[in-house]
Amino acid sequence: MPFKVRRNDGANFELDEFLSRPLVAHLSTASDLGARNSVFWYLWEDEALWMILEEGYNSVQARVRDDPRVALGIVDFDPKSGFLQHVSIRGHASLEPWDDDRAGRLLDRYYARLEGYSGTPHKSGERTRGSLPMILLKVLPESVLMRDQGYRDLVLQRQS
């Protein structure tokens, strides 16, 4: 991996496996008015995170053009079991042309899990949502911090 990976003592999970889960990424960008946070579905592929943006729909594109430094937080959490794994990524983002195949893989990983869904969620050649053209946001990690912050064992120890 061309980036640094650090772990806390309990983080025994693998980065590729974690990022293959259909979770959401909280993308933080900088602006003149302070930090901004947006939530995205993502695809982990070719050691980069890929997200779909609607050109001109929000200010993420402008913020990335002004300052490509970004941070992402991704959490897998189940409060009933005390399971909590977290990955924090710092890196640089770039705006990339639409890639129909990559976008299809990204959308399929979320839509295919929808109960009762049967079909192909992504239509080949679909590059717009309504009238807005779509582009991809690519994040290349520079550093990754992996944390296992689960609390099941701690709670059970206190009960006994």
Average pLDDT of the segment spanning 61-72: 95
127: confidence class by pLDDT, cuts 50, 70, 90: low
The domain that holds 141 is classified in CATH as: 2.30.110.10
pLDDT at 126 > cutoff 60: no
- Name the amino acid, one letter, at 160: S
Q: Within 13 Å, how many C-alpha atoms sit on residue 104's CB side?
A: 10
8 CB-contact burial (10 Å; exposed 0-12 / middle 13-18 / buried 19+): exposed
Pairing of β 69-78 and β 25-29: antiparallel
Domain that holds residue 127: 4-159
pLDDT at 130 > cutoff 70: no
Residue-wise pLDDT for 76-123, tens only, equals 999 989 999 999 999 999 999 999 889 888 988 888 777 666 665 555
Mean pLDDT of the chain: 87
Separation of alpha carbons 34 and 36, rounded Å: 7
pLDDT number for residue 117: 62
pLDDT number for residue 111: 81
Hey, what are 24's tokens? 């959401």
pLDDT number for residue 133: 79
Q: What is the 3-state secondary structure (H, E, C) of 35-104?
A: CEEEEECCEEECCEEEEEEECCCCCHHHHHHHCCEEEEEEEEEECCCCEEEEEEEEEEEEEECCCHHHHH
pLDDT number for residue 108: 85
Stated pTM of the model: 0.86
Domain count, the chain: 1
pLDDT number for residue 122: 55
